[in-house]
Amino acid sequence: MKRNLVYFQSLKKQSQPIVCLTAYDAAFAHCAAKAEVDVLLVGDSLGMVVQGHHNTLSVTLDEMVYHTKLVQRGNQQQAWCIADLPFMSDASLEQVLQSSARLIKEGGADMVKLEGGTRVLAFVETLTQLGIPVCGHLGLLPQSVLKKGYRVQGRDEAEAQRLLDEALALQEAGVDMLVLECVPSALAERVSKALKIPVIGIGAGVNTDGQVLVVYDILGLTPGHTPSFSHNFLQGANSINQAMTSYADAVRNRRFPASVHEMKA
């Protein structure tokens, strides 16, 4: 069944977690779609896990369009496909419109994702008025790594309140989904409850409306450091397909990330 925004809204109403996984090519996208993953995110994390860079900043729009095309070929109209707007492809309204149009028209994405709160509100309004579904991204923002580093966001009350306000403002501007990265689980729960749209967490605890992980992390393929909130689902599985199915089951039953430490034991 082709997933869509109405379906995700109904999952949120029924408190059924949405399963999201990154994908960068046709083979893994096909495998993930077969494993009933709901959302495939063509993340600019590909700069790190596929291209071997230290951060996501050098990823280009052409590369995002190329990888989105590959993913949509393997996905075969099953999972909902989100494509990231890479660093500096959303620096002005004109750029964000042109970049999003390419990801949708050439790449075949169903939705675009952009990082930030107040900075992107006007962009989100225009994109949604033009009929382009948008996913927001708050918390740890990998594209702001040079200024802020990789650290948990929203730890103190003032920062937490600002993040909640930005999430509400993004919803008001028109985003249909929000990724929340590396925030305390209590804050992620607060944001998920306050918003009508689905909130997908990564390193944000179990009480969000869904989970996303980097596919190379769940298969133990990431060179170097794997985030502590992730889990290698290939351990104990017979195939990549079984590992992805076990990730999807663990998210749907809220066994991941709740019992990630037990799973590691």
Active site residues: 181
User: Minimum distance from CB of 20 to ligand KIV (Å)?
Assistant: 8
Residue 154 contacts residue 161 (beta carbons within 8 Å): no
Output the residue with the shortest Cβ distance to ligand KIV.
43
Name which of 41 and 195 has its Cβ closer to ligand KIV.
41
Instruction: Using CB under 6 A, pick the residue from 214, 234, 248, 250 that binds ligand KIV.
Output: 214
User: Minimum distance from CB of 129 to ligand KIV (Å)?
Assistant: 24
Name which of 131 and 149 has its Cβ closer to ligand KIV.
149
Distance CA 208, CA 244 (A): 20
Instruction: Using CB under 6 A, pick the residue from 25, 38, 63, 84 that binds ligand KIV.
Output: 84
Buried b (16+ CB within 10 A) or exposed e, 226-256: beebbbbbbeebeebeebbbbbbebbbeeeb
- Lookup: tokens for 14: 């029924």
Interactions with ligand KIV, residue window 33-62 (CB under 6 A): 41, 43-45
Q: Is 167 a binder of ligand KIV (CB under 6 A)? A: no
Residue 24 contacts residue 18 (beta carbons within 8 Å): no
Please name every residue paired with 138 in a beta bridge, in sequence order, or none if there are none. Answer: 180
Residues 6+ apart with CB under 8 A from 177: 5, 8, 82, 111, 133, 135, 136, 197, 198, 199, 200
User: Minimum distance from CB of 223 to ligand KIV (Å)?
Assistant: 15
Name which of 191 and 214 has its Cβ closer to ligand KIV.
214
The residues that touch ligand KIV, with contacts defined as CB under 6 A, are: 22, 41, 43-45, 84, 179, 181, 202, 212, 214
